[in-house]
Structure 1
């Protein structure tokens, strides 16, 4: 029997933001391919109120085609009014108000079995309101900062906990995150651990020498083949800690760091690299397509990501699958991924510790095959099977 699901996610690719929320898209593509879950997704897009809209107008591409008919399942982009940095506490209510009319129409046309939120905040409380209005059970996924950051916010926390109490089932991306959810006050008997997926057809080892020659030949990346090479993959925001990786280069005089990602910290990170005198050893690659990213990861001696918080980062698993060990802090599900020395090192969030861990991997590099074996248990197919079973349990009551 097919389970029909209405999912709410503020992170999802679109014509205006093709690389935004790719992991949600990959997860749902694998789920839709199974045939036992019928998905329909609503992606709320923040639209600043006038006159801020004159300064921070979202791309009209979001709304010129409000429904993406090229995806494997229907995707609807719905604007909601927003005052940046001020209306955060009200965003769940603003999202629910904007989404409810469409949700009601879709449910009336072809009834859903449940409502799903892909993050605990702001989607969780918004989806809770929608589920209540439609008389449907609720599922919520926790990914990391949506619990660690917003769970400590005085305005967001009561909304998150109320949504958790309403939810018939919840998903955490790591056992460590599940424990944090329970400590926050969420019911333990309704929280399952579902590890992230991975596309092994994209992320697989390419012999390091061959990968380095390939990226050196790619003028768009601008990376030479020689010397130690590290990669940091993630959005350029303070949370991800790329500044610490840049400073760690002071203890690794011959090494280079490629920063793959985009975000508001780009200029500040470039300035920091210049101030430290390592600007010529830091390459800002911007957003890198998955096929090139896999090649870049295979070429690197290690992937370093000194995040302040994580649930279980896709970038960790993608690097391992390419045979590249990781250097990460002991946050979130780090110990569930770095559970063998071949996977890399856990390092404190300071430049000296990061440099020491990277130097150790340079001195005693594991084989790419040994590293890649740590990622064998992750796949989008396994992830989709878990989610489909989760949805069926909730729909069955």
Structure 2
């Protein structure tokens, strides 16, 4: 094509001025793609309709306050509202999402942005809705699977059936790890339409900083100093990290666990630490902006990720890019990131005693921070960006040929 490829990114997982870290991994991949100069993109990122903006309604209030249209990092984003119905919301969400987004898509086309490809993220409900939109506007479709969409939601029969329909309709499916594409392969989707494009890491944003200096600035102490990062929800496994502390303190009396993140489990996790008698050795740091995480990674001796489900966990490469080795559960795409060459350790089962043993294994033969950083440098965004360009160019040319 003589002009740049025009893509329409469609996903409910995209940041806004009121929720700046929501779906930041989708925005990050897009921003890396746009650096190529070969793509022009606009974003349709629907948000659930909610009538009240009072802070006491928390995240729903932030959704209500989301502007209808805004520009982030030079990217134009539309936020149409869609109804999220109680009790039946999971089954009706794809259709309601597609119907609500269609006017926004048509508006962009009327304004002159006649895109070549729909680039959808998250298979359900977003990918299913995108498959409807692609049919209605007659455009090629790529859907990126990111983790829970294919390793949890298919347990429900109706969503699984709708996802299979969308996968059959999509011109391409992208997985951030090979394990996710294995799910679609098991559904009988043609392997030629399945692509693995791993997430990269921003090696400029995430870089080693002096460990002693970061500890002093953040007021952190511990030997070892362990870090657990993520929303305070069960699947992120902060409770497993707390469970490991009594065993670790028995051999490392100065050990400290720092938990970075906010969420509904905060008080329960604090109560767990008190019950186990380790509350003096566990710090709850609250939420930290993404651009500040490098200070916390650099301060730590190890990152712990005790998740029950992950497609491709960005925190693993972020920590390693800062020179910090990782200990993580052996699940889904994580073994594709934490290899023997990384210096990290995988553990199973997902229990405190197994995690404690893995941390002790890492401490006995800890890799140098320089070695860990070198490993992370092999995960720049360049390869993924080029793979996207090749795919979107092929889909765009095929659409022109069919027209």
Q: Same fold (TM over 0.5)?
A: yes
Q: Is this contact kept in 1: 2:241–2:306, CA < 8 A? A: yes
Q: Which residue, out of 170, 173, 185, partners 1:170?
A: 173
Structure-2 change in CA distance of 1:61 and 1:71 (3 Å):
farther
Q: Is this contact kept in 2: 1:205–1:322, CA < 8 A? A: yes
Matches within 5 A, 1:270-281: 270-281=270-281
Is 2:362 aligned against 1:361? yes
CA offsets, 1:46-80, max 9 Å, x none? 22589xxx967833675563111243221111111
Matches within 5 A, 1:27-38: 27-38=29-40
Matches within 5 A, 1:110-259: 110=112, 111-216=114-219, 224-253=220-249, 254=253, 255-259=255-259
Matches within 5 A, 1:40-55: 40-48=42-50
Give how far 1:85 is off: 5.5
State the SS of the aligned residue for 1:171. strand
Could you tell me which residue of structure 2 aligns to residue 221 of structure 1?
A: none
Could you tell me which residue of structure 2 aligns to residue 219 of structure 1?
A: none
Q: Is this contact kept in 2: 1:14–1:62, CA < 8 A? A: no
Structure 1's unaligned 5+ residue stretches are: 217-223
Matches within 5 A, 1:298-337: 298-337=298-337
Q: Is this contact kept in 2: 1:49–1:83, CA < 8 A? A: no
What is the number of equivalent residue pairs in this alignment?
Answer: 388
State the SS of the aligned residue for 1:10. coil
Q: Is this contact kept in 2: 1:66–1:77, CA < 8 A? A: yes
Give how far 1:96 is off: 0.5
Give how far 1:237 is off: 1.4
Mapped to 1, the partners of 2:244 and 2:86 lie a distance apart of: 34
Could you tell me which residue of structure 1 aligns to residue 401 of structure 2?
A: none
Mapped to 1, the partners of 2:75 and 2:210 lie a distance apart of: 37
Could you tell me which residue of structure 2 aligns to residue 262 of structure 1?
A: 262
CA offsets, 1:246-292, max 9 Å, x none? 11111111311111122222222122112211122111112212343
Q: Is this contact kept in 2: 1:124–1:160, CA < 8 A? A: yes
- CA-based RMSD of the aligned residues comes to 2.1
Give how far 1:207 is off: 3.5
Q: Which stretch of structure 1 is more off in the superposition, 64-73 or 291-300?
A: 64-73
Q: Which stretch of structure 1 is more off in the superposition, 100-109 or 64-73?
A: 64-73
Mapped to 2, the partners of 1:145 and 1:384 lie a distance apart of: 23
Structure 2's unaligned 5+ residue stretches are: 399-403
Could you tell me which residue of structure 2 aligns to residue 293 of structure 1?
A: 293
Give how far 1:190 is off: 0.5
Q: Is this contact kept in 1: 2:323–2:373, CA < 8 A? A: yes
Could you tell me which residue of structure 2 aligns to residue 343 of structure 1?
A: 343
Structure-2 change in CA distance of 1:101 and 1:146 (3 Å):
same
Q: Which stretch of structure 1 is more off in the superposition, 180-189 or 252-261?
A: 180-189
Give how far 1:370 is off: 0.9
Mapped to 2, the partners of 1:377 and 1:283 lie a distance apart of: 32
State the SS of the aligned residue for 1:231. strand
State the SS of the aligned residue for 1:328. strand
Give how far 1:108 is off: 3.1
Could you tell me which residue of structure 2 aligns to residue 220 of structure 1?
A: none
Could you tell me which residue of structure 2 aligns to residue 371 of structure 1?
A: 372
Mapped to 1, the partners of 2:148 and 2:189 lie a distance apart of: 16
CA offsets, 1:113-167, max 9 Å, x none? 1112111111000001111100111100011111011122112101111000011
Mapped to 2, the partners of 1:29 and 1:71 lie a distance apart of: 8
Q: TM (normalized to structure 2)?
A: 0.91
State the SS of the aligned residue for 1:107. helix
